[in-house]
Homo-oligomer: A and B are copies of this chain.
Amino acid sequence: MPEARGLPTFAPRGTPAEVEHGLAFQPRFDADGLIPAIVTDLASGEVLMFAWMNAEAVALTVETRIAHFWSRSRRKLWKKGEESGNLMHVAEARTDCDQDVLWLRVSVGGDGVACHTGARSCFYRALPLGQPPTAETVMIEK
Task: For chain A, give the interface size range.
Answer: 35 or more
A95 to B131, CA, bound (A): 17
- Which secondary structure dominates where chain A touches chain B? loop
1/0 contact string of A107-142 vs chain B (CB within 8 Å): 000000001110100111111111111111111111
Question: CB distance A133 to B97 under 8 Å?
Answer: no
How many copies of this chain? 2
Closest B residue to A44 by CB, please name it. Answer: B45
A92 to B9, CA, bound (A): 39
Partner of A24, one of B93, B117, B137: B137
Question: CB distance A38 to B50 under 8 Å?
Answer: yes
A129 to B46, CA, bound (A): 22
Question: CB distance A10 to B137 under 8 Å?
Answer: yes
Q: Which of A12, A131, A134 has the most CB of B within 10 A?
A: A134
Q: Which of A45, A47, A119, A126 has the most CB of B within 10 A?
A: A47
A35 to B10, CA, bound (A): 28
Chain A interfacial positions (CB closer than 8 Å to B): 8-12, 20-21, 23-25, 36, 38, 40, 44-47, 49-50, 58-59, 62-63, 65, 90, 92-98, 101, 103, 115-117, 119, 122-142
